[in-house]
Amino acid sequence: MKKIIFTSILIILATSLAQAQSFSGKGDQKLQAGFNFYGHGSGIKASYDYGLNDAFSIGAGAVFYNTGTYNSDFFIFGRGDYHFQEIINYLDELDVYIGAELGLIGNNNFGIMGHIGGRYAFTDRLYVFIEIGNNGAIGISLDL
């Protein structure tokens, strides 16, 4: 019975992966949320991306993080990403990108952050993502 269930799950995943495409270019919209591992603290990160063309997306987001006992702060930002999908011929389910985030840290500090990231599609709408950099995160992403 366990083998039948396991095989069924694999078939469902394989079928859904065959239909998924991670970044579709102009008009593509993604909403991401996850755990943030900021330089001196950790917290939660949420962002939105909108595809301008086959290679570029822009968006906005926020990070709320805890820097220690009873100390918390935020980073509200705009972001831009360059997607390598058209240059490197790899899986449609995988979107590799590099980007920058510009915004307000705390009450009055300007911040510039950078990241290298990737999204992997499990279905047409559900992804996992990881971003590595000084504002990195790991979590889930939804196609809107």
Residue 36 pLDDT more than 80? yes
pLDDT digit string, tens, across residues 83-140 = 997 777 677 789 999 999 999 988 788 989 899 999 999 888 899 999 998 888 999 9
* CA separation for the pair 52, 133 (Å, rounded): 23
- For every residue of 25-62, DSSP letters joined together read STT-EEEEEEEEEETTEEEEEEEEEEE-SSSEEEEEEE
Residue type, 86: E
pLDDT digit string, tens, across residues 22-35 = 777 888 999 999 99
SS3 90: coil
Domains in the chain: boundaries: 2-143
Which of the following CATH numbers is that of domain 2-143: 3.40.1390.10, 2.40.160.20, 2.60.40.10, 1.25.40.10? Answer: 2.40.160.20
| 80-113 per-residue burial string, b: 16 or more CB within 10 A, e: under 16 | bbebebeeeeeeebbbbbebbbebebeeeeebeb
